[in-house]
Amino acid sequence: MAVTAAKSVMAFRVLTMAVDLCRLTTRTMNVNAGHERTSKARIIHQIQLIRGITPRNSIAHQVRR
């Protein structure tokens, strides 16, 4: 039960970070270009870390439910 809950939390974190990444990518005004690049790099790095811990199939399986 705890493992399923942990996987759900990880899947939710990846989803919210992906949404943040999309918002940064699709922003039309490029006021703080340096800050946006840093934020994108941080989000991508976090997603890669989580994907290394959580198998791909478990996240995809949970999203399909």
Backbone angles phi, psi at 27, to 5 degrees: -65, 130
What ranges in the chain are assigned the alpha helix state H? 2-25, 33-53, 56-64
The residue-averaged pLDDT of 25-52 equals 68
Whether the per-residue pLDDT at 26 is higher than 70: the answer is: no
- One-letter identity of residue 7: K
Identify the domain containing residue 47 by its residue range. Answer: 2-64
Structure confidence at residue 13 (pLDDT): 80
* CA 59 to chain CA centroid, nearest Å: 11
Q: What pTM, to 2 d.p., does this model score? A: 0.43
Query: From residue 33, how far is each of 25, 27, 39 by CA, in Å?
Result: 11, 10, 10
- What is the percent of the chain where pLDDT is above 70? 54
More confident residue, 63 or 7: 7
More confident residue, 1 or 46: 46
Please answer whether residues 58 and 15 qualify as being in contact, where contact means their C-beta atoms are separated by less than 8 angstroms.
Answer: no
